[in-house]
Amino acid sequence: MSSLRLLIIGAHPDDPDFGAGGLAALYSRLGHTVKMVSVTNGDAGHHEMGGAPLAWRRREEAAASGRCLGTEYITLDNHDGALMPTLEVRHQLIALIREFQPDLMTTHRPNDYHPDHRYTSQLVQDASYLLTVPNVVSHIPHLTKMPVIVYTWDHFQRPYPFAPDVVVGIDNVFEQKLDALHCHVSQMYEWLAYNGGYLSEVPDDPAARRAWLGTFRAPRFRQAADLYREMLMADYGEERGRQIEFAEAFEACEYGAPLTAESRQRLFPFF
């Protein structure tokens, strides 16, 4: 099998893990190269701290998460909660994508509750065709073909619900995905718990926290498997497909290279 390159782009440190941490771990285990990118530095995502100290903390958390998954994980220095789909950020992403030369990219869908998520998706879409145009960001050699781009799963219904093209079972890397999320202490056990109103449920002991995280987050990834059970059975076989407990789902973006039957098998070599 030829080596593949996977680029996972999220808006905040922890978004790449949530959406495609299992895919990252599966790629890494097969010896492929994975890079995870947060387009913002996360400097607003907390109720007790912010600015540069929080950005540095979240950068370190992201790097630790990447080590758990066997990937590189970087954060770009754009402010959290203030991301805009500007020409400057578009060029930043064009340069980054060209330098990495991915075969497959993942990002948010363009419809989402968080403006940073929406604009990250738009920035990836805006960059997609221009990756192949030599006179745009001309100091970085252009790509001769676009990568396949897929959106990560969400539950939003308008203007249209998520329509999966690929569903990947992640049972054998699920604990690894949780270990990666566990690295994001500022989010898993502090900010998201505070913002969601369940901070009092979070244990103080690190080992107890990790156990709690698995119990608390498992239903989300179990839901993806249950929603798309028929696709899992079609790709993994009926017996194995019925047994898969956790999954990640992806929807093809029409602005990237086409996700054909051949490229689907090549880019998702797990079935």
C-alpha to C-alpha distances, 110 to 63, 163, 185, 252, nearest whole angstrom: 26, 13, 27, 12
Structure tokens at 255: 């602005």
Q: Which CATH number characterizes residue 98's domain?
A: 3.40.50.10320
Owning domain of residue 100? 5-267
pLDDT tens figures, 43-63? 999 999 999 999 999 999 999
Q: Please state whether the predicted TM-score (pTM) of the whole model is above 0.85.
A: yes
Total tally of structural domains belonging to the chain: 1
Cα separation of 69 and 23, whole Å? 10
Structure tokens at 127: 């960059």
Count CB neighbours of 117 within 10 A.
Answer: 24
Residue 265 pLDDT level (bands cut at 50, 70, 90)? very high
- E-strand ranges in the chain read 5-10, 33-38, 72-75, 104-107, 148-152, 166-169, 247-252
pLDDT tens figures, 186-240? 999 999 999 999 999 999 999 999 999 999 999 999 999 999 999 999 999 999 9
For residue 2, what pLDDT is reported?
Answer: 81
